[in-house]
Amino acid sequence: MNTSPTGRVWLPTTLILLIASLASAASESGQIAEKYTPRLQKILTTNIVPFWYDKSIDRVNGGYTISFDAQGKLKEPVTKMIVTQARQVWLFSRLARAGYEPQKYLEAAEHGYRFLREKMWDPTYGGFYWQVDVTGNQKLQPNKHLYGQSFALYAISEYAMASGKQDVLDFAVQFFNLLEEKSHDRAHGGYLESFNPDWTPSPAGQSSYMGAPSELKLMNTHLHLLEAMTTFYRASNLPIARERLLELINIESNTVVRKNLGACTDKYDPNWTARLDGGYDRVSYGHDIENIWLLMDACDAAGVSNYPFMDLYKTLFGYALKYGYDGRNGGVFYTGPFNMAADDRSKSWWVQAETIVSSLRMYEYTKDAKYLDVFETTFGLIETKLVDWTVGEWHESLSAQGQAQGDKASNWKAGYHNGRSMIECIEILKRWAK
């Protein structure tokens, strides 16, 4: 920095250009926030939330009814699975914590939480049954799987934060300790996944509720354990929870990444040897993209900088864009073989929901315009093709030809992916607006 004879300060040209560049990026971020925040809020508050609040709360049997066809009409028989029952508890809790009619949505979350405790919790051995009938009295699938347990921990932890209830947090800690005792793999890291009702391991070779041999570990399960542990650590602030969170960050940023590919795969032996046989040599673009922002959030919770992971994030996103992104029509395809274009070219609702969160987070860190382009084209697809403005909620997917298909609600489709996506994107854009 130099001073002229008149006393004026002269800034170096490089510094002037840097300041101008930062000002331009800030201006663009503010414009994006102004343009998209109202549209995201409209989808959340007039399309997603009313559908689930009006239709899903089962005032007769408890829990939530999550079984509606493409027209929003009830599909029977109705069963209740831990994954989506927990996801609804999470959704209503998260809405309350984000400031959307807190009293109303806390009541809706409490309704589902009671069903988890009274009907889906195993009073003898602990943990949650996989699936029960509409009343919760018949235990249709009583085994324990960590995919379902992860969502229960996620939901209970979120409800504890939203409600401020000490007894809910105490139960979350009790549940975490049970998982620590029964399923944490101290020898190889991560978690064993498939168990009988009494927490003895399911027989090797038997197909688990996730459709894979019961002895395998899944990237998908550990991805959702990562988000559950992130929320549990925020709720509890327990040192052991941070240890497990760091362990899961390591698994999802390193262990499940095929380094010579630049993408993740899903199936592993207990010692984390990758299984690429039997059709496992495929890439799920949505899971890789979701993994990016969940790792970012986990690092934020753990107090770890994201910058050492940026090369990984760029690599995972880059692979998905190269092989799985529809640059013409917007959106991300479902899956594909290694180093080849996607061969399942359907566009699932949840993949698009996760894509717009990760693309905003990536732009936030890199200021690379390509991530804004991905956000805008994918959001355009969501707004015009996936959102059902007549019935409510989102279509399950778009076919390769762009036709809407699938049910509005099922044991695998609740208000979690898209509801969370809207909330997260709105909160990111609020930061930009400031």
Q: Which domain holds residue 398?
A: 281-434
Tokens representing residue 188 in the block: 């190889």
> Are 215 and 294 part of one and the same domain?
no
Tokens representing residue 253 in the block: 């940023």
> Are 228 and 285 part of one and the same domain?
no
* pLDDT reported for residue 144: 98
> Are 212 and 328 part of one and the same domain?
no
Choosing from 214, 236, 258, the residue where a domain stops is 236
> Are 99 and 229 part of one and the same domain?
yes
Condensed to tens digits (0 to 9), the pLDDT of residues 139-157 reads 999 999 999 999 999 999 9
Q: pTM score, two decimals?
A: 0.94
Condensed to tens digits (0 to 9), the pLDDT of residues 73-123 reads 999 999 999 999 999 999 999 999 999 999 999 999 999 999 999 999 999
Choosing from 208, 236, 264, the residue where a domain stops is 236
pLDDT band at 367 (very low <50, low <70, confident <90, very high): very high
> Are 296 and 433 part of one and the same domain?
yes
pLDDT band at 434 (very low <50, low <70, confident <90, very high): confident
* pLDDT reported for residue 2: 55
C-alpha angle 253/345/338, rounded to 5°? 45
Condensed to tens digits (0 to 9), the pLDDT of residues 210-226 reads 999 999 999 999 999 99
- Residue 31: count other Cβ atoms within 10 Å of its Cβ: 12
d(CA 360, CA 375): 7
What's the number of CA atoms in the CB half-sphere (13 Å) around residue 242? 11
Write the CATH number for 76.
1.50.10.10
